Copies of this chain bind each other. A is one copy, B any other.
Amino acid sequence: MKSTIAALTILLTAITAAAQTAPPSNGERLMAHALESSGAWETLQYLTDDIGPRLSGSKGAALAVQWTTARFRSWGIAVRDEKVMVPHWVRGEERASLVSHNGQKIVLTALGGSVATPVRGITADVIEVSNFDELDRLGNKVRGKIVYYNNPMNMDLVRSGHSFEAYEEAVRYRGAGASRAAKYGAVASLIRSVASASLRDPHTGAMRYDPKLPKIPAAAMTIEDAMLVDRLIRKGERVRMHLVLTPKTLPDADSANVVAEIRGSERPDEIVLVGAHLDSWDLATGAIDDGSGVAMSMEVLRLIKDLGLHPRRTIRCVLFMNEENGLRGGRGYAAAHKDEIGRHAAAIETDAGAAAPTGFSTNVSGEALTSLESRVHPLLARVNAARFEQSSEAGADISPLTDAGVPSFGLISDPLHYFDYHHSPSDTLDKIDPKDFAADTAALAALTWEIADSTEPLRAK
């Protein structure tokens, strides 16, 4: 025991001495700067509080492009806007009531891309199904009815840290539910909001129509309203709803990805992309989805510039437009840069919130990952972000690059509460703890720097 303590004391003294004498590495300096600076928070606050919601095609989205571009420029960082055309869907009035139950209000929100109801609305019986099999069994019995997919998130999965798996499972009815119901003659399609908490706030999100089938309106009820309809139907009561939705799809609008970069000192044609999506849903200011990712990604470049560092490879920040309802920015970037996709040393997307960091998802594996981990672990462990998880997709915007074999990474933050707020009116700045957010930024800066400044190349599996 005594000798163990003696040995530890010697070791500790040696480490302390080394720490005192060795100057901090650039990665360490970047992390320290990220943890002490309020720069990323100020970016996030302006983007969300001052500009507000940023749905593709909206004034907010246009302002976000202008402002982030100007902000890079004010930092002395080269920046350009790369044009993309985006869908322009505009939410209208949305209201519903149970005509069968004293006209009680049902709180819901249109799904992104939904067509409108007739001006006077639809009045129809609600028929509930738990899944597509049940719908198929009902078949033409849903004709003339409003189909309601009762699709709760699996909260056991959420509580055990697998929120995204629970989301994937529940969200399929949001995307495909309307067309699947329209096939059998349904007049509208409703889901239960895909959410892990609710105070009667609805969660929107994109849906898509099968072009071969009639387009019917689609909306998400709050969890409370979905549970109410379910309880009434289970009691054997006829539930008849009046539904008014007046969204519009306008012609595609001009928009842009914002592309900023710090040129590499030794291998300028090799690119490490760090990015996030600039658009948000319209119901809130998009603080966790994805203002935080935008602010962190911008901050990585600002911190490097501020410290006067010169990475070996080029670090490029891309703020993608239209992740939420079209992915035009992600696809547009890949198309515009197709000749240099092979020169992307890595692509790092941040689009999973801003709770405390845990690590990164990646398509890099085997020896390449082991080698990378050995280099970055000492840095990332400082903010508990040293865990790498295998994944074939690290982020939607960079998915065309990932699919082309680019080593890809996605920052993972604690997912427990992500779907409490995601796509709902409550995705606002107050949901983010500035300390967690600074730790996220530090982790992102460290990984970006280490890949960009490494003498070794990185390979996806």
* A201 proximity list for chain B (CB < 8 A): 199-201
- Decide yes or no whether A102 CB sits under 8 A from chain B: yes
Interface residue from B52, B198, B200, B232 paired with A101 (Cβ < 8 Å)? B52
Hey, which chain B residues are within 8 Å of A421, CB to CB? Answer: 199
Are the C-beta atoms of A426 and B232 separated by less than 8 Å?
no
Q: How often does this chain occur in the complex, in copies?
A: 2
CA distance A224 to B426 in the complex (A): 7
Question: Does the CB pair A102–B52 fall under 8 Å?
Answer: yes
Within 8 A of B (CB), among A214-230: 223-224, 227-228
Closest to A50 in B: B101
Tell me the complex Cα distance, A34–B425, Å.
40
Residue in B closest to A97 when the chains form the complex, CB atoms: B52
Most buried by B among A101, A224, A232: A224
Q: In this assembly, does A309 line the interface, its C-beta being within 8 Å of a C-beta of chain B?
A: no
Beta-carbon nearest neighbor of A197 in chain B: B199
With an 8 Å Cβ cutoff, the count of chain A residues facing the other chain is: 36
Q: Which residue of B lies closest to A201 (CB)?
A: B199
A332 to B51, CA, bound (A): 52
- In whole angstroms, what is the CA distance A52 to B420 when docked? 26
CA distance A122 to B51 in the complex (A): 22
Flag if A200 contacts B232 (CB, 8 Å). no
A82 nearest CB across to chain B (Å): 24
Per-position 1/0 for A95-121, Cβ under 8 A of B: 000000111100100000000000000
* A284 vs B49: C-alpha distance when bound (angstroms): 29
Question: CB-CB < 8 A to A420: which residues of B?
Answer: 199
Specify which of A52, A60, A101, A285 lies most central, judged by the most chain B CB atoms within 10 Å of its CB.
Answer: A52
Query: Top 7 nearest A-B pairs by Cβ distance?
Result: A52-B104, A199-B199, A199-B426, A200-B425, A200-B426, A224-B428, A199-B201
Pairs A–B under 8 Å by Cβ, sample size 14: A45-B231, A49-B232, A50-B102, A51-B102, A52-B101, A59-B102, A59-B103, A198-B426, A199-B420, A199-B424, A200-B424, A224-B425, A227-B429, A228-B429
